[in-house]
Amino acid sequence: MLASELKLLEVASTAAEEGGKELLRLFRKNKLSIRRKFDYPGSIVTNADLKSERLILSRIRRSRIPSTVVSEEEGRVKFGGYSPIVWAVDPLDGTLNFSKHVPCFAVSIAVLVRDIPMVGVIYNPILDDLLTASRGQGAYLNGRRIHVSATRSLHNSSLIFEWWNREPRIPNPLAVERRLYGFTRSVRSTGSVAMNLCSVASGRFDGCITVFKKSPLWEIPAGCLIAQEAGGRVTNSSGGPWENFAGSVVVAGEAVHRKLMSVISGK
């Protein structure tokens, strides 16, 4: 029998908070060891990533839920026998921000069951904000229900545009960004995918485009599920399901999402 979604949400929330509190301790201490990674140019990993990850994996292990963890630094780890449960863990989303002492980073944990994201948790230790969602049950910020912005016009929108690498539908991300600036002066880039998605889910921003060629499993499922459960329209850059992790992520309320898709297509 599979662990209940409530149990999965409890474990993910506790693990995210434990990892995030360790990040906050290290952030305040401001003593980091940094080394380069080679997954994309400029990518780095710090001792904070690794310490947060160890705490998160330890919490999942102690839950005794048979499952597999796919984590950014550790890779794939199995706990127990075969199980359709997969934890997608990003122990520090926004590593570059963290290393530069920019207070914009988070822990992101999603739980997939038979490849379907069912639980999403993101913890922002700077603000002590815990965002959670279970499929079909809504999205919450510190226990209070949240909703995406009701804004309908791009001209009145505050947007986030972030790009990591080009993809076929968005071969020139800077051209898309310039088009967005033609509609609104408020376009931001935060350096944290998890924080971007949560900012839209909570209505702090009105829409977001994050450009990937292919998103790593640990990168987007928690934030996308939270945004979707907050009433957002969440798709890839072709308007298809985000759950296939192919291509970019576009998220906003229904009206703004339609306009963002028009900007991507050049209409």
How many Å apart are CA 110 and CA 121, to the nearest integer? 6
Residue 37: the pLDDT is 58
Cβ pair 28, 7 in contact under 8 A = no
Q: Do domains 5-145 and 154-265 have the same CATH topology?
A: no
pLDDT means per 10 residues in the chain (267 residues)? 82 98 91 65 77 96 94 86 92 92 96 95 98 97 97 93 88 92 88 95 96 85 97 94 86 97 88
User: Rounded distance, CA 215 to CA 117, Å?
Assistant: 14
Which residue blocks in the chain are alpha helix, DSSP H?
5-29, 47-62, 95-99, 173-183, 193-201, 221-229, 254-265
| Cβ neighbours, 10 Å, residue 83 | 15
Q: What tens digit of pLDDT does each residue of 101-115 get?
A: 999 999 999 999 999
Q: Which pLDDT belongs to residue 39?
A: 57
List the domain boundaries for the chain. 5-145, 154-265
pLDDT in tens, 195-213: 999 999 999 999 999 998 8
Q: For residues 73 and 77, what is the distance between their CA atoms, to the nearest angstrom?
A: 11
Query: What is the structure's pLDDT at 1?
Result: 42
DSSP category for residue 175? H
Tell me yes or no: is domain 154-265 CATH 3.40.190.80: yes
pLDDT at 36: 67
Please give the pLDDT value at position 2. Answer: 60
Distances (CA, A) of 39 to 42, 43, 73: 9, 7, 11
Looking at residue 142, its amino acid is: N
pLDDT score recorded for residue 66: 93
Q: Are 129 and 123 in contact (CB under 8 A)?
A: yes
Question: Rounded to the nearest 5 degrees, what angle is found at the Cα of 148, between the Cα atoms of 19 and 169?
Answer: 85
In this prediction, residue 124 carries a pLDDT of 98
- Predicted local confidence at residue 208, as pLDDT: 97
Q: What are phi and psi of 48, to 5 degrees?
A: -65, -45
* DSSP of 27-88: HHHT---EEE-SSSTT-EEEHHHHHHHHHHHHHHHHTT--EEEEETTTEEEEESS--SEEEE
Residue 166 is predicted with a pLDDT of 87
Q: What is the pLDDT of residues 142-176, one digit of tens each?
A: 999 999 999 999 998 999 999 888 888 999 999 99
What CATH class has 5-145?
alpha beta
